[in-house]
Amino acid sequence: MWTPGKSVEYKQKRCINQARQGMLALNREWLAMGELSHPENSHWFGRTLDLVGANGVGLFYLAIAAGA
């Protein structure tokens, strides 16, 4: 399974180049990529969170909204 995420060299270079040009370089992480590829961060745990009263979908929304 290929999951390097944001650590891929071309993504790092692109973000550095954009930052040097004065742009805001934002690189979001997709589900099951990079840091989110760990089994503890799997989206299958959402149903478990729903059972204990937390909203599993809300956690993914917060992760996406943090970059906005």
| CA dist., res. 21 & res. 16, Å (int) | 9
User: What pLDDT is attached to residue 32?
Assistant: 67
Give the model confidence (pLDDT) of 18-37 as tens digits: 999 999 887 777 666 666 67
Q: What is the reported pTM? A: 0.49
User: pLDDT > 90: what percent of the chain?
Assistant: 12
Q: Per-residue pLDDT for 7 more than 60?
A: yes
Torsion of CA 4, 25, 15, 41, to 10 degrees: -10
